[in-house]
Amino acid sequence: MGASSSSTLARLGLPARPWPRWLGVAALGLAAVALGTVAWRRAWPRRRRRLQQVGTVAKLWIYPVKSCKGVPVSEAECTAMGLRIGNLRDRFWLVIKEDGHMVTARQEPRLVLVSITYENNCLIFRAPDMDQLVLPSKQPSSNKLHNCRIFGLDIKGRDCGNEAAKWFTNFLKTEAYRLVQFETNMKGRTSRKLVPTLDQNYQVAYPDCCPLLIMTDASLVDLNTRMEKKMKMENFRPNIVVTGCDAFEEDTWDELLIGSVEVKKVMACPRCILTTVDPDAGVIDRKEPLDTLKSYRLCDPSERQLYKLSPLFGIYYSVEKIGSLRVGDPVYRMV
């Protein structure tokens, strides 16, 4: 009985009716159930994300310029758009034609011969028979803004100046090229346009489609047992290489914890002719390792719409929680 009913009875000079004992017991029972439900809900994510170590980080790579050599690093910050050290960021620079279309090693294989170091907040470019190019990591806002085109999608890029343009043009010796830089205030290419069939929500600058590519050394060893000419990890350009697991075990990894970084699988990496560019010679073969990979790494027929006839090697990930990671960090599968 409510407080108002009790006070009314008292005013009439009648004794207040006591609460039935069963109501008190029921109330205590409901409270216990409610508290138990809250406790279960709080504990459920921890149970769902039980950690199982699947390997260890063996290598980390940042590829500042799309299709140029990677920069090996011992540790890195992982942002929503990929790895970084200071202002050196993964695939934030791009070689373009004068009409804005991207240029990669698919069209200019010798791009893989361009090496990059990062000193005093500058990118230092080196290539065979070329003087080095020193480029500040941030360009003046007065530099031209280009409309660029990557795999049919538009994206902006800040021009890196005439000296950089001349350097790449003179090295490649085919036509006039420019170098552009992505800036964090620009709009990236969205996952909904990159992989519209998948339920993901992220942006990238100039990578093909995802912020991170993870591979395992065991899978490369497995591939090389099937090949006459051995491939290097550089043929496949991963950001993170994991050791201490079985070949193609990475196919089963969904959510991972590496250092303080949490990542989520987007899709397997469908391989193209870029893998056939010799990273030491800058010559494109157009056959291997693709032919060998196609003999045993094609997708399930149910996924043909997504991957078509491209062989799968490595896994693309999005970044669920930013943080830092380093070589030697355990790699945990969150199960």
Does residue 13 surpass a pLDDT of 50? no
Task: Please write the tens of the pLDDT for every residue from 132-162.
Answer: 999 999 999 999 999 999 999 999 999 999 9
pLDDT score at 173:
97
Q: Fold for 51-334, please state it.
A: M1 Pyruvate Kinase; Domain 3 (2.40.33)
Mean pLDDT of all residues in 270-275 = 98
Supply 266's token pair. 């987007």
pLDDT score at 36:
47
Alpha helices by DSSP H, 13-161: 21-48
Mean pLDDT of all residues in 187-195 = 97
pLDDT score at 21:
54
Mean pLDDT of all residues in 121-127 = 98
pLDDT score at 49:
79
Catalogue the long-range contacts made by 141-148 (C-beta closer than 8 Å, 24 or more residues apart).
Answer: 146/96, 146/100, 146/178, 146/180, 147/100, 148/94, 148/96, 148/100, 148/101, 148/102, 148/180
The total of other beta-carbon atoms located within 10 Å of residue 73's CB is 18
- What does the domain layout of the chain look like in residue ranges? 51-334
Residue 22: CA atoms inside 13 Å, Cβ hemisphere, count? 0
pLDDT score at 140:
97
pLDDT score at 48:
62
Mean pLDDT of all residues in 222-250 = 98
Mean pLDDT of all residues in 232-244 = 98
Mean pLDDT of all residues in 288-297 = 98
| Residue length of the chain | 335
At 330, the amino acid letter reads P
C-alpha to C-alpha distance for 299 and 109, rounded to whole angstroms: 27
